[in-house]
Chains A and B, each alone.
Chain A
Amino acid sequence: MTDTTLAQLRPARDASLSAFRAMLLRDVAVLRSNLYSFILRTVMQPLLFVFVFTYVFPKIGQGIGGAQGQATFSSLLVPGVVAIACIFQGIQAVMLPLVQEFGYTREIEDRVMAPLPVWGVAVEKLLAGALQGLLAAAIVFPLATFIPATPVHLQISWPELLTFLPLATLLGASLGLAIGTRVKPQQVTLVFSVVIIPVTFLGATYYPWAALDPIPWLKWAVLINPLVYMSEAFRAALTPQLPHMPVPAIYAAMIGSIALLGWIGIDGFKKRVTT
């Protein structure tokens, strides 16, 4: 019996790959059935931001930096808003579900028991989160481009865009995984005020990082914020005419942050499901 059993077993690699694929399919199916709420939660914040700052303000004569500055502001907001969309997917598609699954429902149990290593389940979460980030970026980009009352000047640099986009979405998902595996449900509101809000406000989203020159301490302090690199990356890819960090530095910082946060997240995931 044991021998026939062993013969029926699929090699660990095959079993893991098909389980991984099936989990991605599951996540896509769930996303499809929640498409409307996905779009709403993705669009709301960037939409209001772009609408108020780049449509309402110029119309009521409260432009930021005068008429000339306003035009630049609209352009420079596009990369920031796309970066925020990516990081928010990390929070909403990875962190919040994980907090709930670990804290209350334990519904990830069935996937943890599937024939693949536990770290594989965590990596699948990362990938699914990153895919949602891509989708979110695709939804938000036209909003930020077409809503502003003043013209938006984009000079898309495709090689940068096509490499930064997956990196940024992975980075957002890694942040979500790192926080989601280490936070208790009752701490979620705390995480929002202590982590998420500072990250978004100090993420070089509404101004280029270089513009922080007059406040040197802040300029260096915000470098621990992964969103800074995401914003700067999209700035380099969408509005390279505006100030942005050197491209190689952005690549290095993003890959480094993904490695660090990804490791923290996968390790946290393993610790949450095995003892």
Chain B
Amino acid sequence: MVKATDPNQVIVTSGLTKVFPNGLRAVDALDLSVSSGEIFGLLGPNGAGKTTTVGMLTSRVIPTSGGASIAGVDVVAHSTLAKQLIGVVPQTNTLDRSLTVFENLYYHGRYYGMRSSDARAAAEETLRRFKLIDRADADVNQLSGGMAQRLMIARSILHKPQILFLDEPTAGLDPQSRLALWEILSTLHESGQTIFMTTHYMEEADQLCDRVAIMDHGKILALDTAARLKRSVEADTEIRVSVEEDLEALAVHLKTFDGVSSSQVLDGAVLIALRGRTALVPRIVDFVETGGFTLNDLSVSEPTLETVFIKLTGKELRD
């Protein structure tokens, strides 16, 4: 059984591993600990093992080896206890289509042992809080994507879980709904809710999470605050240059420029990371034009978690 050394650690995993019957090692010896009150983000591309990790932490995926505990309760051995401590928002809309908006919350409360009057009161209060009260009697099939997502979150916290798990909470939402959702998560965070979320949007991890674990091929490659992760790339500027001609050749040339810490071809452009040399831009333009290249596009930005991911894996986060 996996034990937390510090009682403040509400999620602890040790050597958590899942190998699927087809031989895929989806999660490979994961050691994690998440503290109470923290928003913890698992950032990685599709197929990195994020959902499998959430699956194991929420008793849906049985680990091949290693273990996980939630607030000191072993998830595998005592799943019925562990399930009382968690709320889960899965990737897809899993609202109960046979029930109304209100009933989705009411019966959820009943599943967790609330008395009828308590479940009713909790459902009403939560609907108010999530601005869904005027939809209480609506069919859940009539909700927009953003509203359905809000109801799923409302449902997942109705029984006051210690830890809220969200798997790709904003995948497929329009930008406005995404912002609204970030606001909800921030408010929950302020009220002390521990949140464990997965995402493949670096802005989401950057904006919301206290700590971010970058995951690929079932392993954690880096784990820190977003700010420190970005500092770890040892660059403060990122330049993307796109030309008609041979990108590899251009990448090699640009690498020799002063202050350039890395230069590589990615997604039809050369990506350069450098430190303190924004003045390099005119020189690059000059070099590209005199060197016989045709400049298509050039952009300058600050390093993001994407930069960190690229540095760690040599590929982009996006699919």
Contact = CB atoms under 8 A, between A and B. Distances in A.
Nearest to A13: B80
A29 interface: yes
Contacts of B110: 18, 22, 25-26
Interface in A3-43: 3, 5-6, 9-10, 12, 14-16, 18-19, 22-23, 25-26, 29-30, 33-34
Given A2-B72, A113-B88, A275 B36 contact: no
A273 interface: yes
A105 B111 CA distance: 20
Interface in A74-123: 105-117
B80 A115 contact: yes
Given A2-B4, A18-B113, A115-B111, A10 B90 contact: no
A-B pairs, 5 with minimum CB distance: A22-B110, A109-B94, A114-B111, A12-B80, A2-B72
A16 B81 CA distance: 10
A114 B7 contact: no
A1 interface: yes
Contact of B85 (A9, A106, A116): A9
B64 to A, nearest CB: 11
Given A19-B113, A25-B107, A9 B81 contact: yes
B20 interface: yes
B299 interface: no
Categorize the interface residue count of chain A. 35 or more
B204 interface: no
Contacts of B99: 26, 29-30
Interface string A233-272: 0000000000000000000000000000000000000000
Nearest to A17: B113
Contact of A275 (B55, B58, B95): B55
B95 A107 contact: yes
Interface residues of B, number: 43
A26 B107 contact: yes
Given A25-B110, A275-B55, A107 B83 contact: no
A43 to B, nearest CB: 21
B155 interface: yes
A274 interface: yes
Contacts of A110: 94-96, 104, 108, 111, 155
Nearest to A97: B98
Contacts of A112: 60
Nearest to A275: B61
B113 A14 contact: yes
B38 to A, nearest CB: 13
Contacts of A29: 99, 103, 107
A201 B62 CA distance: 42
Residue picked from A2, A116, A117, most chain B C-beta under 10 Å: A2
A232 to B, nearest CB: 35
Contacts of B96: 26, 107, 110
Nearest to B94: A109
Given A29-B103, A109-B94, A9 B79 contact: no
Contact of B112 (A1, A19, A273): A19
Contact of A9 (B36, B62, B84, B93): B84
A13 to B, nearest CB: 8
B84 A10 contact: yes
A122 B192 CA distance: 35
B92 interface: yes
B7 A2 contact: yes
B228 interface: no
Given A1-B7, A1-B71, A26-B110, A117 B79 contact: yes
Contacts of A116: 80, 83
A104 to B, nearest CB: 10
A29 B107 CA distance: 10
A66 B71 CA distance: 75
Nearest to B109: A22
